[in-house]
Chains A and B, each alone.
Chain A
Amino acid sequence: MSVTNAARSAPARSAGRPPSLGGNISAWSNRHRKWLFAAPAMIFVGVLIVFPLVWTLYLSLTDSQGSVRAATEFIGLQNYLTVLTDTDRFWPAVGRTMTFTGVALVCEVVLGMGIALLLWRPFRGEKWVRVAILLPLVATPVAVGMMWRLIFDPNIGFANQLLGMIGIPPQPWLSGQDTALGTTIFMDVWQWTPMVVLILLAGLTSLSDEPDEAARVDGANAFQRFFYITLPLMMPTVIVAILLRGIDALKTFDILYATKGKGGGSFNEVETLNVYAYGLSFDYNQYGLSSAVLILFFMIIIGSMWLLTMRKKAVSK
């Protein structure tokens, strides 16, 4: 529609006067505005994103390591073989990535839905609650990591003081081999549940009141109305929230690196795929190997996204 407009209006303007150079340029750019507008961003994305991705693919097939200027040799799929048979670091990292993402997502969606329902109908002081929800969301993740380091410090932290008040013995939290991953999941839940709340709340407010009212008139109680009316209607939005949050959760790096440092702690207790790949690249300079990890990681992300998108299509029908 607008293409025909372009063709129509450009000659119409220059009809009265002789064609000038400026007019030609203007007519040309109006005719090609689609690509004129899109090209700079596309080129930027191409150069800065597609090229690195192809390069990563290439590096994963070489023995590149040590210095970035060192000569490399093509070694085929050797890196992938090394990585996929590595039960010491790679597979545990896959497991931790899945645990972290899975547990965090479940907590965030359940809590997020609960909080969104609490906020759904207007109430006094709503403004303040909304501010409270926004603050964790915008806080710098590294600073948040440092904040939790103090709170979860086994000796001076507020967390153990709080447990002491209700008679529970102090926990090691971040410094415990078994508790560290759980503690970082808690931090993720604290910071990102608000994001899920905002998305679900946007979904809830766009719902029509009629099905809910009809069920109320028919005598359905609050639980029935939620599980049989609201939740099914909200399913597409819930899946969008899972999709957006899930991608970021899989890629979590800042709070893990800020709280546990290189290699996810001395026992690699919070080493997820992203932290592992970062360490291989920039702490050990194993560029070839880390590229193979990254390509596999990327495939995991794309795979889970594809599954969720399929699910969303099924639900939306």
Chain B
Amino acid sequence: MTVLTPNQTSAGKPQVLHRRRKPLATRAYKAFRVAALIAVVLFLIAPLFWMLLASFKTNVDIYDTGKALFFSPTGENYANVLQRNNYFVFIFNSFWVAFVSTALSIVLGVPAAYAMSRFTMHRSALVVLMARVIPGVSLLVPWYYVFSNLRMVGRFEVLILSHMFVALPLIVYIMMSYFDSLPLELEESAQVDGLTPIGAFRRITLPLSVAGIATAGILSFIFSWNNFMFALVLSGASTKTLPVAIFDFVSYASIDWGGLMAAATVVTIPIMIIALFTQKYIVSGLTAGATKG
């Protein structure tokens, strides 16, 4: 009602009218909304901030509850983690495995998603998407069986293959809903103009799909970077990825909290920076296919 009134009055002073007539309930809701949003942001950010703070504290300061927020920061934890524990190697391993498994999955997954979308291959799509449902452990046992018989456990190839198991279905899933939303007319008119169907895919559809491929690629990279279980079983001393390296941190006698938090920060920071710059893509990828009937 109150919304309608200013519009119905003649163009006189609608804005002033609007402001004066705004009911108390609306203002109360506005205040509530601001408070609730601040609470949500605090709830989500505070733990991460705590981790970051602890990574700059000495272990003595971590045990001193009086120095929760005010303390003299030290870079020692990072120096320890990066130098003594060889984290540069693990960072490279994580990056390499995530990069190669994502790249290979794009090469395999994008054409497959295209075919499945254009020829509505529902059953084939279902087989690929099943992979999103299967518990990872049930694949690990047979893989471990095969690869340890081939004496290949601990090699990059095996790790990359296992990460592709997550990446490929993800890429097919995202790209299928992307191709579904791309109009068919463009390809058809390209074919009328003399391009072969594959040529139309390569010269028309693919360049139009860069945003979709970026979305799928970024998400697949993040999932691979964060993957823990496959690397826990299939990586060796020289191919260990960051999540496994952090996990090994606590199996020592007593927990070096400062070092552990520095290690945890080292893992999460790169992925968060990527996420900040590619926010739009991540959101569209995570919600792909969620809102269509």
- Residues of A that sit less than 8 Å from B by CB: 1-2, 5-6, 9-10, 12-13, 26, 29-30, 33-38, 40-42, 44-46, 48-53, 55-56, 59, 68-69, 114-115, 118-119, 123, 125, 128-144, 146-151, 155-156, 158, 161, 190, 194-195, 198-199, 201-203, 206, 216-217, 219, 222, 236-237, 240-241, 244, 247, 251, 253-254, 257-258, 274, 277-278, 281-282, 287, 290-291, 294-295, 297-298, 301-302, 305, 316
Q: Chain A contacts of B137 at CB under 8 A? A: 253, 274, 277-278, 281, 290, 294
Q: A34-B115, A147-B261, A190-B47 are in contact. Are A161 and B149 (CB under 8 A)?
A: no
Name the distance in Å between B90's Cβ and chain A's nearest Cβ: 12
- Residues of chain A with a CB closer than 8 A to B114's CB: 37
- Cβ–Cβ < 8 Å partners of B116 in chain A: 38
In residues 94-118 of chain B, which contact A (Cβ within 8 Å)? 108-109, 111-112, 114-116, 118
Contacting pair B164 A143 (CB below 8 A): no
Task: Return chain A residues, CB-CB under 8 Å to B50.
Answer: 147, 150-151, 158
Also in contact, A254 and B229, with CB within 8 A (given A151-B50, A281-B140)? yes
Residues of B within 8 A of A217 (CB): 1, 4
Q: A241 CA to B272 CA in the complex, in Å?
A: 23
A-B contact pairs, 27 of them (CB 8 A): A1-B184, A2-B119, A10-B196, A13-B194, A29-B198, A48-B139, A51-B142, A52-B138, A125-B37, A138-B222, A138-B271, A138-B272, A142-B228, A143-B263, A146-B246, A146-B264, A151-B47, A155-B63, A156-B65, A156-B257, A158-B50, A161-B68, A202-B290, A203-B290, A257-B232, A281-B141, A287-B141
Q: Is the CB of B108 within 8 A of A199?
A: no
The smallest beta-carbon distance between B121 and chain A, in angstroms, is 6
Residues of A within 8 A of B194 (CB): 9, 12-13
* Complex contact B112–A37 (CB within 8 A): yes
Decide: A133 and B196 in contact? CB cutoff 8 A.
Answer: no
Asked whether, in the complex, the Cβ of A143 is within 8 Å of the Cβ of B197, the reply is: no
Chain A residue with Cβ nearest B279? A134
- Cβ-neighbour of B290 out of A199, A253, A277 (below 8 A): A199
A2 CA to B138 CA, complexed, in Å: 39
Of A48, A125, A146, A194, most buried by chain B (CB within 10 Å of CB) is: A146
In the A-B complex, the 6 residue pairs with the closest CB atoms: A41-B112, A52-B142, A37-B115, A143-B264, A37-B111, A55-B142
B71 within 8 A of A: no
Chain A positions within 8 Å of B213 at CB level: none
Assess the B44–A135 pair: CB atoms within 8 A.
Answer: yes
Q: Which residues of A sit under 8 angstroms from B225, Cβ to Cβ?
A: 140
CA distance A176 to B271 in the complex (A): 32
Residue contact A258 to B228, C-beta cutoff 8 Å: yes
- Tell whether B287 is near chain A: CB-to-CB under 8 Å: yes
CA distance A21 to B163 in the complex (A): 39
Residue contact A301 to B133, C-beta cutoff 8 Å: yes
Give the distance in Å from the alpha carbon of A251 to the alpha carbon of B191 in the complex: 46
> Which residue of B is nearest A56, CB measured?
B138
Would A258 and B48 count as touching, CB distance under 8 A? Answer: no
B217 touches A (CB below 8 Å): no
* Interface 1/0 per residue, B169-201 and A, CB below 8 Å: 100100000000000100110010011111001
Q: Is the CB of B145 within 8 A of A68?
A: yes
**B44 near A194 (CB under 8 angstroms)?**
yes
The answer on a CB contact under 8 Å between A143 and B268 is: yes
Would you call B79 an interface residue if the criterion is a C-beta within 8 Å of the partner chain's C-beta atoms? no
Does B253 interact with chain A (Cβ within 8 Å)? no
